[in-house]
């Protein structure tokens, strides 16, 4: 396969269409920075040919920007194989199924499609053309990035399959299977021909008997043929009769349909005539009441005119009532406002009366509260000195407690260090054991490395010997072959000169030279066999040494690990020894000293007792201070309330009482909203002048409603007068058409009955058709059997 052209669109990092033309290129190197798209070019080739690449799925090969625009990834790959140009086009849209086209060049810029009906079948066709699949391609002709050892890491069985595909061995297996199938087919045909030949020879032995049977069979066949001809003539006549029956039955059906259609027309005309007759009767009934309908209509017109006059007055009266509503609303709102103001002022009047009574009570409570507050201040002054002494004692107690707490923290810290020192002593024992184990293991590994070094030297010598013998053996074989050729030439030569040295070839000379050549051949053969045995031993020895030397990297890694382990153990032991020495020199004596100080708490206990004794007086002072604060809040509340009551009473005496008297007088005299009252009076006068009577209006309305049917009845009378004459003419025409239609139905009935009678006659004469057909069928079957019998006999 020789690549010619590669086109990439929306494929991996290639957003725009990129074209690579391989014409006139024999060796190419693709170079560029990381991520420039070098590997994408090779991925495009494998994806086009096999639908596979380094990406996990086909969706991953679509360019990310193209996905946002719903673009399609497309790769076109053109190549030459066995003198023909082929093109593979593969497309994929994100989240959709892909498309695959396979084409072959059929002329200038013309391509013939080789695609199958299904994408999978097209892929199989491509792989059959290339004679390799994706695995074979990537293990032989193409190395994936980061997978150069793809072939070597496969199992032996898989490597054998790939090599077989590359060398075409599998193709010879298919040839072998095809040849075996063809051989089996030909052997079957040979057996069939042999069987037919045996049957023919057996039949030739029965020739006379078969001639007799043939004559009898021919006579019987002639009789059956004559009977079949007679029956077929009868069958033709019966079928003609059957055809006439079918035609007559079709005629009867057509006439029946025509008769039904004419009967429906007659029925429709009769229904129309009945409807027109009902309409005429209704119109005549309306015309009989013409005088009454005319009088009622005149009375309805008069009542309607009178009702319109009263309706006009009602509309004017309603407009006046509508005009009064804003003024009535203004009057109502003003009266409601004054009444609400009166209720609020009366409420304040009651509140002021209650405030006058509350004023006396609050004045008395305020005097008693101030007296209690003075007594509390006296008692608190007496307790101030005791509180000062308690405060000093408590400060001293806090100082002693802080010092004791600090001692406890220091003791805890040192005790924690003591526990860590003890843990270090235990760890020191474990690390010492680990150091000894590492030293022992290191000594063993050093001995193993020394032994492997000896084996490595031996391996190098054995490998050199093996290579030398492998190179020497072909040379020895070639010398032996040449020597054998010289012996053969000397043995077969008769007379003349010696083919080896050119001297006259006598028998003595022949034997001398042969003896010399055979001796030299024996030495070469012995040397070749010795070398072969030595080479076999060296091959085994090299294999054994290679097996042993495979352990060398692991042993070296183990030695390095043990050396690191030993160094870490020694460093850890030094660190532990230094830490323990520092503890025993400084921190251990200090822990003993601080523990003794912490146990002596006599001064702390004495100070605590003194604070408890002074705390009683302080608690009493706290109680008195809370009582003082409560009493102060109570006195402040009473003072504020008394001030509020004074303000409320003073404000009412100055303003509220006069406002209440004025509002009550205004409501009693109705002197509010004077403009609205004036407009209401004017509108009431206009309503009286209008003289609208609602009872008279309703009476006229009832009269007109009682005559509501007069107008529709008058319209019906006008319609009846206009429709009577055309309706009479229409009835006469319908009666004439009904008579004609009845005559047509009678004629069609007679014709249909005649056709039915003829059909019955024909049907009675065609009953033997099925019997004749059965007889003809049986005779034809019998004739066919006899013909095969005659054919077999012939």
- Is residue 699 in a domain? no
Same domain, 540 and 393: yes
Query: What tens digit of pLDDT does each residue of 275-312 get?
Result: 877 877 777 777 787 788 788 778 788 877 887 887 78
- pLDDT for 402 equals 79
- The distance in angstroms from the start CA to the end CA of the chain is 64
Last residue of a domain, one of 159, 188, 205: 205
Q: Are strands 84-93 and 99-107 parallel, antiparallel or unpaired?
A: antiparallel
Q: How far apart are CA 327 and CA 760, in angstroms?
A: 104
pTM above 0.75, yes or no: no
Same domain, 449 and 564: yes
Least confident range of 258-262, 570-574, 755-759: 755-759
Q: In a 10 Å sphere around its CB, with 0-12 CB exposed, 13-18 middle and 19+ buried, how is residue 251 labelled? A: middle
- pLDDT for 122 equals 92
* Tokens (6 digits) for 764: 């009675």
- pLDDT for 564 equals 86
Query: What tens digit of pLDDT does each residue of 643-690 get?
Result: 887 888 888 788 877 887 887 887 787 777 778 778 878 888 877 887
* Most confident of the ranges 94-103, 196-205, 417-426, 680-689: 94-103
- Is residue 506 in a domain? yes
What sign does the CA torsion over 184, 187, 191, 193 have? positive
Mean pLDDT of 147-160: 57
DSSP 129: H
Q: Which domain holds residue 77?
A: 2-131
* Most confident of the ranges 286-300, 430-444, 632-646: 430-444
pLDDT at position 478 over 80: yes
Q: Are strands 18-21 and 2-9 parallel, antiparallel or unpaired?
A: antiparallel
- pLDDT for 203 equals 67
pLDDT at position 147 over 60: no
Same domain, 779 and 652: no
For position 80, which CATH number holds?
A: 3.40.50.300
Same domain, 245 and 314: no
- pLDDT for 641 equals 79
Query: pLDDT tier at 120 (50, 70, 90 boundaries)?
Result: very high
pLDDT at position 171 over 70: no
Strand order in the sheet with 2-9: 18-21, 2-9, 72-81, 84-93, 99-107, 110-113
As a whole-number percent, the residues of the chain with pLDDT over 70 amount to: 88
Last residue of a domain, one of 111, 131, 151: 131
Question: What torsion do the CA atoms of 439, 443, 448, 449 make, to the nearest 10 degrees?
Answer: 90
pLDDT at position 83 over 80: yes
Same domain, 551 and 640: no
3-state SS, residue 764:
helix
Q: How far apart are CA 93 and CA 270, in angstroms?
A: 74
- pLDDT for 124 equals 92
Least confident range of 65-79, 248-262, 566-580, 779-793: 779-793
Q: 111: part of which helix (H) or strand (E)?
A: strand 110-113
pLDDT at position 516 over 70: yes
Same domain, 191 and 236: no
Q: How far apart are CA 213 and CA 786, in angstroms?
A: 11
- pLDDT for 75 equals 93
Mean pLDDT of 497-511: 73
**CB distance 567 to 360 below 8 Å:** no
- pLDDT for 793 equals 63
- Is residue 370 in a domain? yes
- Is residue 150 in a domain? no
Query: pLDDT tier at 620 (50, 70, 90 boundaries)?
Result: low
**86 strand-pairing partners:** 79, 104
Same domain, 236 and 352: no
- Is residue 191 in a domain? yes
- Is residue 61 in a domain? yes
To 5 degrees, how large is the angle CA 297–CA 719–CA 300?
10
Q: How far apart are CA 624 and CA 634, in angstroms?
A: 15
Number of domains in the chain: 5
- pLDDT for 101 equals 92
The 8 Å CB, 24+ separation contacts for 128-133 are 129/81, 129/86, 130/1, 130/49, 130/81, 131/165, 131/168, 131/171, 132/165, 132/166, 133/50, 133/165
- Is residue 617 in a domain? no
Q: How far apart are CA 532 and CA 474, in angstroms?
A: 11
CA distances 604 to 386, 409, 615, Å, are 21, 17, 17
Least confident range of 500-509, 537-546, 778-787: 500-509
- pLDDT for 265 equals 86
Same domain, 440 and 574: yes
How many residues in total does the chain contain? 794
pLDDT at position 23 over 70: yes
- pLDDT for 7 equals 93
Same domain, 554 and 446: yes
Query: pLDDT tier at 593 (50, 70, 90 boundaries)?
Result: confident
**CB distance 693 to 315 below 8 Å:** no
- Is residue 219 in a domain? yes
Q: 419: part of which helix (H) or strand (E)?
A: helix 384-492
Same domain, 66 and 114: yes
Query: pLDDT tier at 769 (50, 70, 90 boundaries)?
Result: low
Half-sphere exposure of 550 (CA within 13 A, CB side): 5
Q: How far apart are CA 9 and CA 19, in angstroms?
A: 9
Mean pLDDT of 628-640: 81
Mean pLDDT, the chain, integer: 79
Describe the crossing of helices 710-765 and 290-382 by its angle, rounded to 10 degrees. 100
Cβ contacts of 573 within 8 Å, gap of 6 or more: 428, 431, 432, 435
pLDDT at position 213 over 70: yes
* Most confident of the ranges 168-182, 226-240, 294-308, 553-567: 553-567
pLDDT at position 356 over 60: yes
- pLDDT for 614 equals 65
**CB distance 533 to 454 below 8 Å:** no
Same domain, 338 and 411: no
Same domain, 638 and 657: yes
* Tokens (6 digits) for 307: 């009702």
Complete DSSP assignment for 287-352: HHTHHHHHHHHHHHHHHHHHHHHHHHHHHHHHHHHHHHHHHHHHHHHHHHHHHHHHHHHHHHHHHH
3-state SS, residue 100:
strand
For position 776, which CATH number holds?
A: 1.10.287.2610
Q: In a 10 Å sphere around its CB, with 0-12 CB exposed, 13-18 middle and 19+ buried, how is residue 562 labelled? A: buried
Mean pLDDT of 110-119: 88
**CB distance 66 to 50 below 8 Å:** no
**CB distance 41 to 92 below 8 Å:** no
């Amino acid at each position: 396969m020789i690549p010619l052209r590669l086109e990439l669109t929306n494929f991996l990092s290639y957003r725009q269409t990129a074209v690579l033309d391989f014409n006139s290129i024999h060796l190419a190197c693709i170079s560029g920075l990381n991520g420039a798209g070098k590997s994408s070019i090779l991925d495009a080739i494998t994806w086009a040919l096999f639908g596979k690449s380094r990406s996990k799925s086909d969706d991953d090969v679509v360019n990310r920007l193209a996905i946002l625009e719903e673009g399609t990834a497309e790769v076109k790959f053109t190549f030459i194989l066995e003198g023909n140009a082929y093109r593979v086009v593969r497309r994929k849209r994100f989240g959709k199924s892909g498309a695959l086209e396979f084409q072959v060049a059929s002329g200038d810029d013309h391509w013939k499609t080789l695609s199958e009906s299904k994408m999978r079948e097209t892929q199989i066709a491509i792989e059959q053309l290339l004679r390799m699949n994706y695995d074979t391609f990537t293990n032989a002709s193409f190395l994936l990035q980061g997978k150069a050892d793809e072939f070597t890491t496969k199992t032996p069985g898989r490597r054998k399959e790939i090599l077989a595909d590359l060398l075409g061995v599998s193709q010879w297996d298919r040839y072998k299977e095809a040849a075996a199938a063809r051989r089996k087919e030909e052997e079957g045909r040979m057996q069939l021909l042999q069987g037919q030949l045996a049957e023919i020879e057996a039949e030739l032995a029965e020739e006379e008997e078969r001639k007799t049977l043939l004559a009898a069979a021919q006579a019987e066949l002639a009789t059956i043929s004559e009977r079949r001809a007679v029956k077929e003539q009868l069958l033709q006549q019966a079928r003609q009769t059957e055809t006439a029956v079918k035609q007559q039955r079709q005629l009867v059906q057509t006439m029946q349909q025509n008769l039904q259609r004419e009967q429906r027309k007659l029925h429709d005309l009769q229904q129309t005539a009945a409807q027109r007759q009902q309409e005429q009767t209704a119109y005549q009934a309306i015309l009989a009441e013409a005088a009454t309908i005319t009088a009622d209509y005149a009375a309805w017109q008069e009542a309607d005119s009178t009702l319109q006059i009263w309706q006009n007055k009602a509309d004017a009266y309603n407009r006046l009532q509508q005009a009064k509503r804003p003024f009535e609303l203004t009057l109502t709102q003003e009266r409601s406002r004054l009444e609400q103001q009166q209720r609020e002022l009366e409420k304040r009047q009651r509140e002021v009366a209650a405030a006058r009574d509350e004023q006396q009570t609050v004045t008395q409570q305020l005097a008693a509260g101030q007296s209690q507050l003075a007594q509390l201040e006296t008692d608190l002054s007496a307790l101030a000195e005791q509180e000062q002494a308690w405060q000093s004692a408590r400060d001293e107690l806090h100082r002693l407690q802080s010092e004791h707490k600090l001692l406890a923290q220091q003791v805890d810290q040192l005790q924690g260090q003591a526990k860590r020192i003890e843990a270090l002593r235990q760890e020191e024992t474990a690390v010492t054991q680990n150091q000894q184990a590492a030293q022992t293991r290191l000594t063993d590994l050093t001995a193993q490395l020394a032994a492997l070094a000896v084996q490595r030297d031996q391996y190098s010598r054995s490998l050199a010997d093996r290579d030398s013998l492998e190179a020497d053996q072909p040379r020895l074989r070639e010398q032996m072959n040449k020597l054998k050729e010289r012996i053969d030439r000397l043995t077969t030569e008769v007379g003349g000169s010696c083919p080896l040295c050119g001297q006259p070839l006598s028998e003595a000379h022949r034997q001398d030279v042969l003896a010399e050549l055979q001796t030299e051949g024996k030495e070469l053969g012995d040397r070749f066999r010795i070398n072969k045995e030595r080479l076999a031993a060296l091959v085994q020895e090299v294999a054994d040494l290679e097996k042993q030397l495979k352990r060398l990297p692991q042993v070296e890694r183990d030695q390095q690990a043990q050396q690191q382990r030993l160094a870490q153990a020694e460093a850890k032991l030094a660190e532990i020894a230094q830490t323990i020495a520092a503890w025993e020199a400084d921190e251990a004596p200090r822990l003993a000293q601080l523990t003794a100080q912490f146990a002596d708490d006599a001064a702390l206990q004495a100070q605590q007792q003194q604070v408890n004794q002074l705390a009683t007086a302080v608690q009493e002072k706290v109680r008195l201070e809370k009582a003082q604060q409560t009493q102060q809040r109570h006195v402040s509340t009473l003072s504020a309330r008394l001030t509020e009551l004074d303000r409320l009473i003073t404000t009412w005496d100055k303003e509220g009482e006069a406002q209440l008297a004025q509002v009550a007088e205004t409501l009693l005299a109705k002197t509010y909203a004077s403009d609205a009252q004036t407009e209401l009076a004017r509108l009431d006068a206009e309503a009286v002048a209008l003289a609208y009577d609602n009872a008279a209006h309703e009476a006229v309305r009832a009269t007109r409603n009682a005559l509501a049917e007069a107008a529709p009845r008058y319209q019906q009378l006008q319609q009846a007068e206009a429709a009577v004459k055309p309706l009479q003419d229409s009835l006469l025409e319908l009666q004439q058409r009904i008579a004609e239609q009845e005559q047509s139905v009678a004629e069609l009935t007679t014709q249909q009955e005649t056709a039915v009678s003829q059909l019955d006659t024909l049907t009675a004469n065609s009953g033997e058709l099925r019997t004749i057909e059965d007889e003809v069928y049986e005779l034809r079957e019998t004739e066919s059997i006899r013909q095969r019998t005659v054919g077999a006999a012939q």
